[in-house]
Amino acid sequence: MGRIAKLLGIQPAAFPRFAAITAAFALTQCVALMVYLVSTTLFLQRCGAAYLPWTSLSGYVLALALSAVFRSLRAARPFALLTGYFIAYSIFLGLARVNGSSGSFYAQAAIQSMVVPFPILCWMLFWNTLEGVLVIQEVKTWTPLVTAGAFLCQILTGLATGPLGRVAGLENLFLAGILGLALALAILEGVVAEARGPAGSASTEPSPAALELGKEPLLAGIARLVAAFAIFKYLVDYQLNRAVSEQFTSAADVAAFLGRFDSVIKTTIFLLQTSLTGRLLAWFTPGKVLSAMPVLLAVACGAVLAGGGFPAILAANLAFTVFDKGVNRSCLALLLAPFPPDKARQARLRLDGQIYGAGVV
């Protein structure tokens, strides 16, 4: 264990905490991917790609609403919010399992609408839980490694979803999602309890005030970039799902292709996170790294609009997702690290939940 910690640049005494955070985050991200692949496959089979924009619209309207609810509950402990959301989502997964692949059009649409916002809401609440638990240096050095470990696990999840769906039935994978969320909560609870101290003392943070985004020039600039990214990312995601539904007719084949393609994306992100992201943040400020986003938006969308066909759609989706999860998220985490924990939590809910969601809507 000591050698692994030294290789990763982590103090041996802090390695158990790092490993626990990585394991919990990896579980949440694997559940998010597997459930999304299963739900999207069942939806494409039952409803077709033409209705995907409406499920995305309703899903991100739901994300806007839930982000507003979470912001209104800013006095509550972040881990309590995460726990409540995971319990509610687990109940939903149980209902989705009962519905199976033979449910009505409206049932499948409702399932897809609930699944769409989970990755972003899960991401927000998880990292909000760690605000005040990690110091700035840990945010800078650990974030790329934690996300890289999660993406490595997602690679295996993407490759396994299709075969597991053929063996066990796609709808039964919803039950695996419930188990994964329960394990993630159990692991993360230990990290949070350790940070509170042996007596589990209450937080000494003052009563939080509402964040006014317009009075924070840095956050306002980031918000504009996030909104633009959301608009174009949604367009390339829709193009990808439509193209896949036209290429394949079997539900298992759709799930297998989406899983393989996601594994390519996650492999690229894993290599980027382990070899380049940390160096970029050491060489340049996060703002300078994020300034590459408008160029990426223009090039990728130009290739799709120019009629590059299925390969261009795959390349654009790959570029958007890799930049978002391989670079963008680490930059945002580092930018928010110097803020007081409550302000950072509110900013994450505004940027990832409301601004990103509004861009998609």
- Could you give the residue ranges of the DSSP H alpha helices within the chain? 2-8, 15-46, 52-72, 78-99, 105-115, 118-130, 136-168, 173-196, 217-247, 251-272, 278-283, 286-290, 293-305, 309-323, 329-336, 341-348, 356-360
- Rounded Cα distance between 236 and 88, Å, is 30
In a domain, residue 206? The reply is no
Q: What is the CATH number of the domain that holds 287?
A: 1.20.1250.20
CA dist 268 and 265 (Å) reads 5
Q: How far is 122 from 85, CA to CA, in rounded Å?
A: 8
- Phi and psi torsions of 188, nearest 5°: -70, -30
Number of folded domains in the chain? Answer: 1
Q: Which domain holds residue 331?
A: 2-199+212-360
Three-state secondary-structure class, residue 100: coil
Let me know if residue 119 belongs to a domain.
yes
pLDDT in tens, the chain (361 residues): 566 666 666 777 878 888 899 999 999 999 998 888 888 888 877 777 677 777 777 877 887 888 888 878 877 888 999 999 999 999 988 988 887 656 677 777 788 888 888 888 888 889 888 887 777 777 767 777 888 788 788 888 877 887 888 888 778 888 989 999 999 999 999 888 887 665 444 445 555 555 555 566 666 666 766 666 667 666 767 777 777 777 776 666 776 777 777 777 777 777 776 776 667 767 776 667 766 666 766 776 666 666 556 677 777 777 777 777 767 677 777 777 677 777 777 777 777 666 666 555 5
Residue 205 lies in a domain: no
Token pair, residue 123, equals 């991401």
Within-domain flag for 181: yes
DSSP secondary structure of 111-125:
HHHHHTTHHHHHHHH
Closest Cα to residue 114, out of 193, 176, 168, 177? 177
Provide CB contacts within 8 A for 175, sequence distance 6+: 93, 94, 97
Q: Has residue 145 been placed in a domain?
A: yes
Q: Check: CB of residue 8 under 8 Å from CB of residue 143.
A: no
Q: Counting beta carbons within 10 angstroms of the beta carbon of residue 75, is it exposed (0 to 12), middle (13 to 18) or buried (19 or more)?
A: exposed
pTM, whole model, 2 decimals? 0.71
In a domain, 207, yes or no: no
